[in-house]
Amino acid sequence: MNPEFVILESIQKAHGDIETRPISLHEPDFRGTKAWEYVKETIDTSWVSTAGSFVERFEESVRKITGAKHAIAVSNGTVALRLALHLVDVRAQDEVIVPPLSFVATANAVSHLGAIPHFVDIDNETLGMSCMALIKRMDEIAIRKNGSVFNKETGRRISAIVPVHIFGNPADIYGLKKIADSWNLPIVEDAAEALGSSLGGKHCGLIGDVGVLSFNGNKLVTTGGGGMIMTNSDSLASSARHLSTTAKLAHSWEIQHDQIGWNDRMPNINAALGLAQLECLNDKIIKKKQLFSQYAHAFAEYDFVELVATKTGFNSNHWLITIRLLEKDLDLLAAIRYRLLKTSHQSGLLLRPAWKLLSDLPMYSSNPKAELSTALDQVQRLINLPSSPQLIQ
Ligand SMILES: *Cc1c(COP(=O)(O)O)cnc(C)c1O
């Protein structure tokens, strides 16, 4: 039988009988939550905008769940990343090290500050930034001068490293942190996809200097659109609050600003939606684990495909469960991939390949980059499966 049919059959076997089509990768679900009650309260009290008790309760809940000392809710994950990069002093014309396999926002947030994404390869197993590749690249191009690090090929300052926890699977963040420390570079963790993921007893996003979450519509928990800055640093947290609220000085009537700030705060109505779902986060994660193990079971017997597993000791929220096609012949691989995606869309199972590599997008194609062979190979093989927790009935 053709690989694509075996894969589609295995997916259906893992789900059991689900008639509703189409099934997309990740869909929000508010059943069994207090979402309506909370949102209604924001409307009834007319506290719908960027001040209001749900924002505080939502932040408090994220602090409890993640163990973060500070959590600052903002309007989406992209602005959270941009603000986080600004907080660690990324400036225009700096270079920031990012992995090529990520959602476009990782690189865009760097560019929004006028800085330049510099791509370093990923690890085969975690799909996050590779420690080996980072060490090698820094040795190749980085020099220290006057307490900063520079790319000796471009002359630009290198000012931060942004590991991404891809599909909710933790990157080897302790290893990456060690390398960053050896160069005295800050880490901003893109944990947009990783609410509920952890390693070494710490939640993703809290090993580096600042971490960000996203609450976009397709994430594990959604506020409609939203993001969060997490940090254990008091000073970074208070800067984040200040800069995300137009850098306005507290005063009963005077309207005074002391820096160029942003209007980044999350509205109360969105936080109400988010809080209602955080109350069910455990349940969602339990269902995700079960879905992952049902997929693992369904794919176990085939040698041409495998489920992307979480590294031993790492704890994933399984945001997007992913298969890896193992065909060695690249032409055959491309043919299987094409037929699989086409057949799946015809049958209403909306499988999706991983993103195109950021380093291949037109706006980033001439950016500085290391050798990216693992990312180039993996991006041809990775296919995301429908992963909504509600697929477990
Ligand atoms: C979703 C996502 C973001 C951006 O979040 P938005 O809330 O959509 O702006 C950033 N990085 C990664 C890896 C993401 O998946």
Which tokens hold the place of 263?
């209007």
Going by their DSSP bridges, the two strands 305-307 and 322-325 should be labelled as antiparallel
> Distance between the two ends of the chain, CA-based, in angstroms?
30
Whether the CB of 223 sits within 6 Å of ligand 1: no
CB 99 within 8 A of CB 348: no
Cα 244 to Cα 268: distance, rounded to the nearest angstrom: 15
Whether the CB of 317 sits within 6 Å of ligand 1: no
Cα 290 to Cα 331: distance, rounded to the nearest angstrom: 34
For residue 53, the model assigns a pLDDT of 95
Per DSSP, what are the bridge partners of residue 149?
144, 158
Whether the CB of 388 sits within 6 Å of ligand 1: no
Which tokens hold the place of 257?
């600003």
Which tokens hold the place of 223?
């506020």
CB 261 within 8 A of CB 249: no
**Residue 108 backbone dihedrals phi, psi, to 5 degrees:** -60, -40
Whether the CB of 319 sits within 6 Å of ligand 1: no
For residue 196, the model assigns a pLDDT of 98
Going by their DSSP bridges, the two strands 148-151 and 157-161 should be labelled as antiparallel
For residue 48, the model assigns a pLDDT of 87
Whether the CB of 106 sits within 6 Å of ligand 1: yes
Cα 380 to Cα 390: distance, rounded to the nearest angstrom: 29
Cα 172 to Cα 240: distance, rounded to the nearest angstrom: 26
Task: Find the 82 Cα to ligand 1 centroid distance in Å.
Answer: 11
For residue 18, the model assigns a pLDDT of 73
For residue 17, the model assigns a pLDDT of 72
Helices 77-87, 105-112: crossing angle, 10 deg rounding: 50
Count Cβ atoms below 10 Å from residue 109 Cβ, excluding itself: 28
For a pocket test of ligand 1, which of 79, 98, 103 has the largest count of ligand atoms closer than 8 A to its C-beta? Answer: 103
The 157-161 sheet, strands edge to edge: 116-119, 95-98, 157-161, 148-151, 142-145
Cα 129 to Cα 112: distance, rounded to the nearest angstrom: 22
For a pocket test of ligand 1, which of 76, 216, 230 has the largest count of ligand atoms closer than 8 A to its C-beta? Answer: 216
* pLDDT digits (tens), the chain, 393 positions: 789 999 999 998 888 877 788 999 999 999 999 999 999 999 999 888 888 899 999 999 999 999 999 999 999 999 999 999 999 999 999 999 999 999 999 999 999 999 999 999 999 999 999 999 999 999 999 999 999 999 999 999 999 999 999 999 999 999 999 999 999 999 999 999 999 999 999 999 999 999 999 999 999 999 999 999 999 999 999 999 999 999 999 999 999 999 999 999 999 999 999 999 999 999 999 999 999 999 999 999 999 999 999 999 999 999 999 999 999 999 999 999 999 999 999 999 999 999 999 999 999 999 999 999 999 999 999 999 999 999 997
Task: Find the 85 Cα to ligand 1 centroid distance in Å.
Answer: 14
CB 262 within 8 A of CB 243: yes
Taking CA atoms only, the protein residue closest to ligand 1 atom 4 is: 77
CB 350 within 8 A of CB 24: yes
The 227-231 sheet, strands edge to edge: 70-74, 227-231, 210-214, 188-190
**Residue 10 backbone dihedrals phi, psi, to 5 degrees:** -65, -40
What type of residue sits at position 390?
Answer: Q
For a pocket test of ligand 1, which of 110, 190, 218, 358 has the largest count of ligand atoms closer than 8 A to its C-beta? Answer: 190
Rounded to 5°, angle at Cα 378 from 373 and 381: 145
For residue 59, the model assigns a pLDDT of 98
Whether the CB of 205 sits within 6 Å of ligand 1: no
Taking CA atoms only, the protein residue closest to ligand 1 atom 6 is: 77
Q: Which atom of ligand 1 is nearest to the CA of 216?
A: 7
pTM of the model: 0.97
